[in-house]
């Protein structure tokens, strides 16, 4: 059966919610749309800079840069995203980290005008690419050349935001290959990679190694 690779492009939309201090920030984290949490934590994976940025997500960056709370920023920067299989788990972890910090620290700093944190959600527009494959060898070749937005869509966005295509990819791999390969891919989570290209290389390495071991 042919498998058609899909991808998504993202449009950003203001949620209308913003925070000027850590208490307001926490209150919004508790209620804001999941796609806003996703956007602020993960979008940096698709931003490319030749020099690494100090913090890997928007929350950590704002808390360090504007609220001048580097300890909390570092805690939020070092989230192990492998722990989170859905965005509600991630939201709860963010809430716990901030509440724990507030319990131990008197945080009074407040953002100046123009420095507020604006919560932005992303709209996913999902569409098929021109890449269709019939077996894993062809899929491997495509994974080597398909653009990074597709990798991000399958292995990050589709798993967390929905869209269903990671599930379809899983089913296709299970039908064509094995449960074991899918398990290895399931255990792949984006943080720990400097960028999406490194993640692509790891996906290719996993598949190639699997093929080598099962020749």
Partner 1 sequence: MNEKRSVWEYEDIVGRGLLEDLESLAEHIPGSVQHINATYTGGGVAEILSSMIPLFKGLGIETDWNVIRGDDDFFSITKSFHNVLHGRVEDAVDIHAYKHVSVLDDLERQINELNQRKDMLETYLRWNKINSEEMDLDYDVTFVHDPQPAALIDAKQKGNWIWRCHIDVSNPDALVWNFLKESVSKYDASVFSTPLFSRPDLRIRQFLVPPSIDPLSDKNIELSQSEIDSVLDKYEITQDKPIITQISRFDRLKDLPGVIDAYKLVKKRIDCQLILAGGVAADDPEGMGVYHEVMKKADGEADIHVLLGSPPFTDIEINAFQRASTVIMQKSLKEGFGLVVSEGLWKGKPVIGGATGGIPLQIINGVTGYLVHSVEGAAFKIANLLKDPELARKLGENGREHVRNNFLITRHLKDYLLVMLSLEDPSGIIRL
Q: Which residues are within 8 A (CB) of 72 and not within 5 positions of it... i.e. 6 or more apart?
A: 22, 63, 97, 98, 101, 105, 107
Interface residue list for partner 1 (CB under 8 A) = 7, 9-14, 16, 18, 33, 35, 47-51, 53, 113-114, 118, 120-130, 147, 149, 161-163
In the complex with partner 1, which residue's Cβ is closer, 74 or 149?
A: 149
In a 10 Å sphere around its CB, with 0-12 CB exposed, 13-18 middle and 19+ buried, how is residue 38 labelled?
buried
Query: To the nearest whole angstrom, how small is the minimum distance from the Cβ of residue 171 to partner 1?
Result: 17
In the complex with partner 1, which residue's Cβ is closer, 75 or 118?
A: 118
In the complex with partner 1, which residue's Cβ is closer, 51 or 215?
A: 51
In the complex with partner 1, which residue's Cβ is closer, 10 or 166?
A: 10
Query: To the nearest whole angstrom, how small is the minimum distance from the Cβ of residue 70 to partner 1?
Result: 16
Q: State the Cα angle at 34 between 31 and 163, rounded to 5°.
A: 155
Is residue 176 within 8 Å of 135, Cβ to Cβ? Answer: yes
Query: To the nearest whole angstrom, how small is the minimum distance from the Cβ of residue 197 to partner 1?
Result: 13
In a 10 Å sphere around its CB, with 0-12 CB exposed, 13-18 middle and 19+ buried, how is residue 103 labelled?
exposed
Query: To the nearest whole angstrom, how small is the minimum distance from the Cβ of residue 7 to partner 1?
Result: 7
Q: How far apart are the first and last CA of the chain?
A: 22
Where helices occur in 66-195 by DSSP H, the ranges are 70-77, 87-104, 136-145, 148-152, 158-160, 165-176, 179-186
Q: Compute the distance between CA of residue 121 and CA of residue 38 in angstroms, rounded to an integer.
A: 8
Q: State the Cα angle at 62 between 56 and 68, rounded to 5°.
A: 115
Query: To the nearest whole angstrom, how small is the minimum distance from the Cβ of residue 98 to partner 1?
Result: 21
In the complex with partner 1, which residue's Cβ is closer, 99 or 128?
A: 128
In the complex with partner 1, which residue's Cβ is closer, 127 or 212?
A: 127
Query: To the nearest whole angstrom, how small is the minimum distance from the Cβ of residue 60 to partner 1?
Result: 15
């Amino acid at each position: 059966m042919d498998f058609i690779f899909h991808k998504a492009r993202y449009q950003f939309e203001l949620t209308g919610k913003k925070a000027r201090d850590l208490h307001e920030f926490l209150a919004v984290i508790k209620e804001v749309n999941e796609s806003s949490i996703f956007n602020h934590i993960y979008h940096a994976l698709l931003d490319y800079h030749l020099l690494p940025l100090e913090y890997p997500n928007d929350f950590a960056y704002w808390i360090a840069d504007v609220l001048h709370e580097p300890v909390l920023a570092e805690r939020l920067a070092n989230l192990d995203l492998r722990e989170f299989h859905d965005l509600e788990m991630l939201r709860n972890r963010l809430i716990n980290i901030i509440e724990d910090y507030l319990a131990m620290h008197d945080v009074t700093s407040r953002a100046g005008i123009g420095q507020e944190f604006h919560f932005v959600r992303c709209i996913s527009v999902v569409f098929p690419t021109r890449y269709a494959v019939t077996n894993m060898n062809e899929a491997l070749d495509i994974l080597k050349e398909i653009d990074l937005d597709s990798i991000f869509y399958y292995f990050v966005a589709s798993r967390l935001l929905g869209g269903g295509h990671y599930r379809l990819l899983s089913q296709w791999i299970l039908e064509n290959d094995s449960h074991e390969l899918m398990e290895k891919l399931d255990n792949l989570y984006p943080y720990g990679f400097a960028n999406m290209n490194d993640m692509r290389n790891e996906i290719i390495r996993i598949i190639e190694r699997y093929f080598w071991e099962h020749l």
